[in-house]
């Protein structure tokens, strides 16, 4: 989401963009990057089963304090492990079986030593107590961190956004996407008179003797740690339900009290049509047990699982703008649709390494196209996805560098969506394409995955050889160029600007008003055209994300 917002800000010429550090491509990596990004033996030695995050938020002092319990299963024998917490937050103690464990810190990594070997297969737990002033986001959610804000009435309005920055910026965790906790209790204590919203189901509200109120939320499904969220403010709450594929899905809306009157009709217009569209294309909503929530946040938006952050000012499009230039982008609220799409891609299916974030963003960006198609028709969807191509930079490859917490290009959004759209054209069967999208969410339900797993699944289910297609769009910055010339009734053509042996089929107008497949390679081929096709009216199907060059 964060990288997407950088691109959107560039499109809208928002001045804060120049301050965004992540726009600068890293060329070297530090020891700290490796500690954060590598699944080392000190991390892979244990599998997280359960967290209980118990946190008190002192809004006046911008201070947090509390604990997190780690319950885990040992995957091998070990006596030392790594968890993560940013260095500006103090680890006060680590408790294991009623005794304090020794620990050391290196940058944002904490290393804990146990008094004896933890045996493979054993289930153990320890609790980390910590406190401090968390990083404050300067331009949330773009640079990440806590947001201590106020609503228009002057009431406290607090949240956080940490994708990319890392969940360990505000709570102790195993900060690697490959290991999602199976379930989690989130207990957040806030000053009395304020409401607090987190992921999952609200289990209890406890009045504390110190003037704080504790809200206890239980997440019963696996969750990646950057999705763990809190929202604090003066909220209005109302509930609805959606008759989904797995039964009744609860819908909970949380808007600021002062905005609830305009929030109700605005959210009603999109949420149920979105759920209907995405269940059709992707399969059942992945978190029925935890419900679906849309929560107004003091930042633009984030895909927090079962508690989607919303900050689009109750406008159509992206803050009132159509990012596609097609007109269709103003038919829906961009943040509601995009961030909810992540419930399937990003939250249900999560990449093991942040380098493979295209799995989250390319399919989710394409969800906007599919929603447009569901509500406005197939041509409208095609116009939308073709329109967003103007945002493609082709600066660096979409896939990042593994093991160092490194994302690839922001092209994972718009270029990635157009790659998915191009593959859809190659499949040339919308029911099969829909089956693949639904199959991805069923096969990799609540799992972490690699690029290779996603590529192989799509190739196998489609029956197509797609390796060169994925290599071209994910691993290079080249857009394939179809060079062609028409001489009389003969069409001569080939691919250039491609990976070696690129041979992707493409549709062209071999007959007037009709697109048919041709099968270019990097070597010249010639075929005959039917009467009526000439230089003036020859076309390439615009649904393919390629370039063309008439060499005559």
The mean pLDDT value for 466-484 works out to 98
- Contact criterion met (CB below 8 Å) for 127 and 95: yes
Alpha carbons within 13 angstroms on the beta-carbon side of residue 233 total 29
> Could you read off the pLDDT of 317-341 as tens digits, one per residue?
999 999 999 999 999 999 999 999 9
Residue 21 — pLDDT band, cuts 50, 70, 90?
A: very low
Domain stops at, among 477, 493, 524: 477
Q: What's the average model confidence in pLDDT over 454-475?
A: 98
For residues 355 and 422, membership in a common domain is answered with yes
Q: Are residues 76 and 164 in the same domain?
A: yes
Q: What confidence tens digit (pLDDT) does each residue in 124-175 have?
A: 999 999 999 999 998 887 788 999 999 999 999 999 999 989 999 999 999 9
279 belongs to a structural domain: no
Where among 204, 232, 260 does a domain terminate?
232
Task: Give the pLDDT score at 321.
Answer: 98
Q: Look up the domain containing 544 and give its range.
A: 481-550
Within a domain: 492: yes
> For the domain that residue 66 is a member of, what is the CATH number?
2.60.40.1730
In this structure, is residue 128 part of a structural domain?
Answer: yes
Does the pLDDT value for residue 182 go beyond 90? yes
Q: Do 413 and 516 share a domain, yes or no? A: no
For 211-265, the DSSP string reads SEEEEEEEE-S-B-GGG--EEEE-EEEEEEEEEETTEEEEEEEEEEGGGHHHHHH
pLDDT at 118 over 50: yes
| Percent of the chain predicted with pLDDT > 90 | 91
- What pLDDT is attached to residue 28? 87
Query: What is the tens place of the pLDDT at every residue in 52-91?
Result: 999 999 999 999 999 999 999 999 999 999 999 999 999 9
Is 168 found in the same domain as 139?
A: yes
Tokens of 18: 């120049």
154 domain-assigned: yes
The CATH number of the domain holding residue 495 is 2.60.40
Residues 337 and 367 sit within 8 Å (Cβ to Cβ): yes
The C-alpha angle 532, 535, 536, rounded to 5 degrees, equals 80
Q: Quote the number of domains for the chain.
A: 3
What beta strand segments (E) does 282-435 contain? Answer: 292-296, 301-302, 308-310, 349-351
Answer whether residue 304 is part of any domain. no
Give, to the nearest 10 degrees, the angle between helix 2-12 and helix 358-376.
60
- Co-location of 77 and 19 in the same domain: no
Residues 322 and 471 in one domain: yes
Residue 5 sits in a domain whose CATH number is: 1.10.390.10
387-432 tens-digit pLDDT: 999 999 999 999 999 999 999 999 999 999 999 999 999 999 999 9
- Residue 541 lies inside a defined structural domain of this protein: yes
Mean pLDDT value across residues 27-53: 95
User: Is residue 299 in some structural domain?
Assistant: no
Rounded to the nearest 10 degrees, the angle between the axes of helix 358-376 and helix 411-427 is 60
Q: Is the pLDDT of residue 6 over 80?
A: no
State mean pLDDT over 262-270: 98
CA dihedral 424, 425, 428, 433 (to 10 degrees): 10
Q: State whether residue 387 is helix, strand or coil.
A: helix
- Per-chain mean pLDDT for the chain: 94
Least trusted range by pLDDT, from 327-331, 382-386, 509-513, 520-524: 509-513
Q: What is the pLDDT of residue 344?
A: 98
Q: pTM of the predicted model, to two decimals?
A: 0.94
**How much is the pLDDT for 140?**
81
Considering only CA atoms, which of 269, 257, 229, 239 is closest in space to residue 1? Answer: 229
For residues 201 and 291, the answer to whether their CB atoms sit within 8 Å is yes
Do residues 55 and 177 both lie within one domain? yes
CA gap 254, 272 in Å, rounded = 16
For residue 228, is the peptide bond before it cis, meaning its omega torsion is within 30 degrees of 0? no
Is residue 107 located within the same domain as residue 175? yes
In a domain, 47, yes or no: yes
SS3 state at 407 = coil
* 60 and 76 together in one domain: yes
The pLDDT confidence band at residue 7, using thresholds 50, 70 and 90, is low
Per-residue confidence (pLDDT) for residue 341, from 0 to 100: 98
Q: What pLDDT is stored for residue 263 in this prediction?
A: 98
> Where is the domain boundary, 477, 501, 516?
477
> Are residues 118 and 224 located together in one domain of the fold?
yes
Are 119 and 170 members of one domain? yes
Residue 24 scores a pLDDT above 70: no
Give yes or no: residues 186 and 325 share one domain. no
């Amino acid at each position: 989401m964060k990288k997407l917002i950088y691109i959107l800000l560039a499109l809208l010429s928002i001045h804060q963009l120049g301050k965004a550090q992540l726009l600068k491509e890293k060329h070297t990596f530090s020891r700290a990057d490796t500690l954060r990004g590598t699944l080392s033996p000190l991390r892979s030695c244990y599998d997280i089963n359960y967290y209980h995050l118990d946190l008190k938020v002192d809004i006046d002092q911008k201070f947090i304090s509390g604990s997190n319990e780690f319950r885990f299963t040992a995957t091998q024998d070990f006596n030392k492990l790594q968890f993560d917490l940013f260095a500006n937050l103090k680890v006060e103690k680590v408790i294991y079986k009623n005794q304090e464990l020794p620990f050391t810190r290196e940058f944002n990594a904490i290393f804990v030593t146990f008094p004896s070997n933890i045996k493979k297969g054993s289930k153990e737990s320890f609790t980390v107590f910590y406190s401090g002033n968390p990083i404050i986001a300067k331009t949330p959610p773009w640079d990440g961190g806590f947001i201590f804000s106020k609503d228009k009435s002057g009431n406290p309005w607090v949240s956080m956004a940490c994708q990319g920055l890392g969940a360990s910026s505000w709570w102790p965790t195993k900060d690697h996407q490959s290991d999602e906790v199976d379930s989690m209790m989130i207990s957040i204590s806030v000053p009395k008179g304020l409401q607090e919203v987190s992921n999952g189901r609200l289990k209890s509200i406890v009045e504390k003797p110190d003037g704080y109120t504790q809200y206890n939320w239980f997440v019963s499904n696996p969750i990646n740690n950057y999705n763990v969220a809190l929202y604090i403010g003066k909220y209005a709450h109302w509930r609805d339900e959606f008759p989904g594929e797995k039964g009744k899905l609860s819908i909970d809306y949380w808007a600021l009290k002062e905005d609830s009157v305009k929030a109700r009709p605005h959210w009603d217009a999109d949420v149920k049509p979105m759920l209907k569209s995405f269940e059709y294309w992707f399969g059942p909503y992945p978190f029925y047990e935890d419900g679906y929530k849309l929560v107004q946040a003091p930042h633009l938006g984030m895909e927090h699982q079962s508690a989607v952050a919303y900050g689009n000012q109750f406008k159509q499009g992206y803050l009132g703008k159509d990012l596609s230039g097609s007109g269709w982008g103003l038919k829906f609220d961009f943040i509601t649709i995009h961030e909810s799409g992540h419930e399937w891609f990003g939250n249900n299916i999560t990449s093991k390494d942040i380098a493979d974030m295209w799995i989250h963003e390319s399919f989710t960006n394409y969800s906007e196209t599919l929603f447009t198609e569901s509500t406005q028709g197939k041509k409208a969807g095609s116009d939308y996805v073709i329109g967003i191509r103007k945002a493609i930079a082709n600066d660096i490859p979409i896939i990042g560098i593994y093991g160092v917490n490194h994302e690839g290009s922001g092209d994972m959004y718009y270029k990635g969506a157009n790659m998915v759209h191009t593959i859809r054209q190659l499949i040339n069967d919308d029911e099969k394409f829909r089956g693949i999208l639904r199959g991805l969410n069923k096969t990799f339900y609540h799992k972490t995955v690699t690029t290779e797993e996603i590529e192989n699944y799509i190739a196998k289910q489609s029956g197509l050889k797609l390796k060169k297609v994925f290599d071209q769009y994910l691993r290079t910055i080249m857009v394939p160029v179809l060079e062609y010339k028409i001489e009389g009734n003969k069409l001569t053509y080939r691919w250039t600007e491609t990976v070696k042996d690129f041979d992707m089929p493409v549709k062209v107008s071999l007959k007037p008003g009709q697109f048919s497949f041709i099968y270019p390679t990097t070597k010249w081929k010639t075929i005959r055209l039917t009467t009526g096709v000439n230089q003036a009216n020859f076309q390439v199907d615009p649904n393919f994300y390629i370039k063309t060059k008439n060499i005559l």
